[in-house]
Amino acid sequence: MLRGQDILHDYRCIIPWLAAKHICVTSTNHAHFQIPGRTRTPPSPSTPSVAKMSRNDARGFRKILQDAFYIDDEVWSYQVPDLPHSLTDDSPRTDDSKELVKSISVVSNNEKLQLVLSFQPISPNRAVSSHPLDKFIIISLAGFRSQVLSSNSGSANERPQPATPREFSDYTVRLLRAGISLNTVHYNFYGHSNSQLKSRSCFLFADSKENIRRMVESLGDFTKIKTVAKKAKRIGLLFSSAEVVMTLDPSRCQDIPDVETNDYIFTDGCGLISGVFAQELARRRKIVFRESRYTPSVYQIRYRGYKGVLMLDPTMTGEYLVKFRKSMKKFSGGDDHSFSVVEYSKVIPHVFFYSNYM
């Protein structure tokens, strides 16, 4: 039986979505690649494409890493010499590219079989925010459909054939276990948010599997979670979109019980925040309405193993800035003390007018 701690290395258990949903990706350029046992020649320069782009134009960058692939591929290694300089692994990020991350899409349909490299905007999250974006790749399997080349022993003119769900699953498991090499840098599976699981995408990180395991373990204690699906969901909280605002010492937080009856939790996922800390979050997030600052009454947050909302409590004074309900705690521990805000309550215009000008 599969154990909870095996989740980082047994990908078959967290990717039951391999043979669903279809997305088509358009590409413009081509890269040389080689797979053991066969070599393919990239399309000729006469292939229709958009105008040549600047090396620093990451937003418009597209490169076909592989213009055909087989269901039994085992190695994914590519050289892309014209990768935009501002996002190569040894150069600093610029203002235009700091929110972009490398993305590889697997496209398989009646018209094309391709692996396409591009750059896409990334939403901030706790698992990514402390590392350079150059060390990440987002791999998407949303365009992976039922047409593939069945075997590497086929002829060069072989037409794509339908593949079974098991063949899709095996291909994806091999891909995630082997990782991807890009310009001699190897990227291994890191994790995914719960929304990424639905859209069939995940993060790869430029490090060894063992170091990545330690990184995930440093973000929280997941050893007590024995169910693989539940463990994947809890780790996914670290990858959910949330802006890291500041760090918060755990000594300034307090765990409090829920208000509940035998069959209902009235405060499910709802904690409390002091006025001082709420104002500090508003200042750091630069929350304004019509050029005037205001302090939200509710914050949706992520902090260590806690998730939920915090409601403003003007009576809170003393050493504690935040009070978390028992129902907000999804896992324990973690060396990461970053406090992240997902969303906050917005101003109702007429209420804001009367409270500020009357």
- In this predicted model, which residue has the larger pLDDT, 92 or 321? 321
pLDDT of residue 6: 46
In this structure, the answer to whether residues 326 and 229 fall within a common structural domain is no
**pLDDT tens digits for range 201-234:** 999 999 999 999 999 988 999 988 889 999 999 9
In this structure, the answer to whether residues 299 and 330 fall within a common structural domain is yes
99 plus 194 within the same structural domain: yes
Q: Whole-prediction pTM value?
A: 0.73
Is 207 in the same domain as 280? no
Same domain, 325 and 269: yes
b/e code 278-302 from CB counts within 10 Å (16+ = b):
bbbbbeeeebeeeeeebbbebbbbb
Q: What is the pLDDT of residue 187?
A: 97
Give dist(CA 147, CA 160) in Å, integer.
Answer: 5
Looking at per-residue pLDDT, the higher value among 54 and 269 belongs to: 269
pLDDT at 330 exceeding the cut of 90 = yes
Last residue of a domain, one of 239, 270, 298: 239
The answer to which of 163-167, 245-249, 303-307, 318-322 has the lowest mean pLDDT is: 163-167
Does 191 lie in the same domain as 337?
Answer: no
Domain with 319 in it? 243-357
C-beta separation of 259 from 167 below 8 A: no
Q: Are 301 and 249 members of one domain?
A: yes
- pLDDT higher than threshold 90 for residue 153: no
Q: Do residues 332 and 225 lie in contact, with contact meaning Cβ atoms separated by under 8 Å?
A: no
| 128 and 16 in a common domain | yes
| Judgement on whether residues 161 and 267 belong to the same structural domain of the protein | no
Judgement on whether residues 225 and 262 belong to the same structural domain of the protein: no
Domain end (from 197, 215, 239): 239
Same-domain status, 235 and 258: no
Number of domains in the chain: 2
Contact of 107 with 24, CB cutoff 8 Å? yes
Question: Angle at Cα 130 formed by Cα 99 and Cα 304, nearest 5°?
Answer: 115
Instruction: Work out the pLDDT band at 277, boundaries 50, 70, 90.
Output: very high
pLDDT tens string 154-203: 555 566 667 777 888 888 899 999 999 999 999 999 999 989 988 899 99
| pLDDT confidence band for 15 (50 / 70 / 90) | very low
